[in-house]
Structure 1
Amino acid sequence: MSDRSSQRPILMFDSGVGGLTVLREARVLMPDRRFVYVADDAAFPYGAWEEPALKDHILTLFG
């Protein structure tokens, strides 16, 4: 990994707050990296969404 890409934050995106445990472990494994955690609990659960609508929703979030 180049020095430049290792300075970029890692995006952790989740449909709720369950990903916080994954984020915690990632911070342990990569203590020198920065993280951005986004939880979209307003649209939880994603399983009920039709794929095209979900894609549109996620793209809107990140605009």
Structure 2
Amino acid sequence: MHMSAPESNDAFGANSWLIDDMREAYQADPQSVDASWQRFFAAEGAPAAPAPAPAASQ
């Protein structure tokens, strides 16, 4: 199920679901989408994949 699209997706009309899918892919792994889409999502403030957690010290 798709989350509601942000207002920036309105320009994509019936294809906004595709932007949602690419946004989810970008958030999981920014390298999984084309560089132009990486710039698009970075510009709109979509968070990229979280940084790995530091190793636990013992």
TM-score by length of 2: 0.31
User: When you count helix as a share of all residues, which structure comes out higher?
Assistant: 2
Query: More strand by proportion, 1 or 2?
Result: 1
Higher relative contact order (CA 8 A, sep 6+): 1
